[in-house]
Amino acid sequence: MNTKTTVLGQTYQFRDLKEIFAKANEDKSGDQLAGIAASDSRERVAAKQVLADLTLADIRNNPMLPPEEDEVSRVIEEGINEKIYNEIKNWSVAELREYILSHEAGDNEIKRISRGLSSEMIAATAKLMSNLDLITAAAKIRVVTHCNTAIGQQGVLASRVQPNHPSDSVQGIKASLYEGLSYGIGDAVIGINPVIDTADSVKDILNMTKEVMDKWAIPTQNCVLAHVTTQMRAIRQGAPADLIFQSLAGSEKGNNAFGIDVKLLDEADELMRKEGTSYGPNFWYFETGQGSELSSEAHFGIDQVTMEARCYGLARKYNPFIVNTVVGFIGPEYLYDSRQVIRAGLEDHYMGKMHGLPMGCDVCYTNHMKVDQNDMDNLGILLSAAGVNFVIGVAMADDVMLNYQSTSFHDIAAFREVLGLRPAPAFEKWLEKMGIMENGKLTPIAGDPTIFM
């Protein structure tokens, strides 16, 4: 494996694959914090040059986190289709990138080849792509999944309605939910982040959302984003859960910090098969985000883009209904400004789709970042153009419980209108029945939650 190159008369010798991958990244404050980022643009170019010439076999044969030391690595390794891998193992990373972006590689071809790729191989291609490359490649890939309803179809931009409340007031959640529904938001999921992580609180919220769904015959699915063990207790006590949720990390140690491991995820998967209330077959909801492994000191010197890709390698084991990166939620320690947040959102969406995942994004930022709402508008439009499966809507783009900024209900309506996108088919029919939408356009009563009162 060649780890040396010369750029403008200066020779660069990289120690190993970890260093090549990290220094080939676009600038990220998280990599700087970890002490693994390129020192300047010239070193970054040198790392990209070396990375481009590596073969896929080089990457697989030199694991950054060996399978015998990490269960996420084992899941990724066991998921590789050996026949497809053997067809392409001698390709360079540059050749794989060129193939993905070529006219000969469409949806089916990319989905097939992705089965022979490890998460690290997918991350490598992202490091060699421009923002437009990431959009172009991801836009080719459609991932349709089915829980109670199906999302991910061509021309569809689905949405999670996120009616969080600072004290888990069921009536407060319901009021925000009705407003979101009145804007046509909620076809991906009615998903609430609870303040109180108890089975009783989760049951109360799940029961309320299911009652609303049944009363108004809403074709969607519900979920309360408590810890997976809390949801499991609630489900065993009879709570009506269509989806089960968990945040993921890209290493076993990172997942341990979240209080999970593969054995627990397998147990939750089996529970949902037996006691989940959705039609299926897809009933998992995962969230990820660059930097989480660094925050728990569980990155092992691996850069945050590669660790994020490894989250998707774990997620695809469970054939989820939806996955999303909470792109700017952690803060400027990992993504410093709007340029880094936009880049990360496009990277994550591309890498998720390359794993065959139904990829969404929480287009968001914390208030101490060098980002504003215009930047979120930009990223929302870019992801919508890239074929993102769903985005997240909160009232006035301001989550009063999680204390961060996201996209609003009316922002998502605007994304759809500007790009000619529609809600999920079953949900759109419901919106038409309610008089909220007609011929793909919101009607004058849209945005008025009193229609549910």
Question: Which residues are annotated as part of the binding site?
Answer: 160-162, 193-194, 246, 287, 295, 362, 401
Query: Greatest CA separation found in the chain?
Result: 72
Instruction: Determine the Cα angle at 416 with ends 410 and 419, to 5°.
Output: 135
Comparing CA positions, the residue from 135, 146, 154, 187 lying closest to residue 420 is 154
Whether the Cβ atoms of residue 279 and residue 97 lie closer than 8 Å to each other: no
Distance between CA 10 and CA 49 in Å, rounded? 13
Q: Output the CA torsion sign for 174, 175, 181, 187.
A: negative
The span from the CA of 206 to the CA of 193, in Å, is 12
Of all helices (H) and strands (E), which one includes residue 271? helix 262-275
Instruction: State the alpha helices, DSSP H only, in 35-189.
Output: 41-53, 56-61, 71-78, 82-88, 93-101, 107-114, 119-127, 131-139, 170-182
- Give the bridge partners for 359, in sequence order: 323
Does residue 281 have a cis bond before it (omega within 30 degrees)? yes
Annotated binding site for adenosylcob(III)alamin: 194, 246, 295, 401
* Whole-angstrom distance, CA of residue 363 vs CA of residue 360: 9
Q: Which two tokens stand for residue 368?
A: 């101490």
Going by DSSP bridges, is the β-strand pair 244-247/284-288 parallel, antiparallel, or unpaired?
parallel
Question: Is 384 within 8 Å of 421 (Cβ atoms)?
Answer: yes
Calpha distance 117→97 (Å, rounded): 12
91 vs 117: CA distance, rounded Å: 11
Work out the end-to-end distance of the chain between its first and last CA atoms, rounded to an integer number of angstroms.
66
CA distance 249 to 258: 8
- Give the separation between CA 188 and CA 245, rounded to whole angstroms: 14
- Binding positions for substrate are 160-162, 193, 287, 362
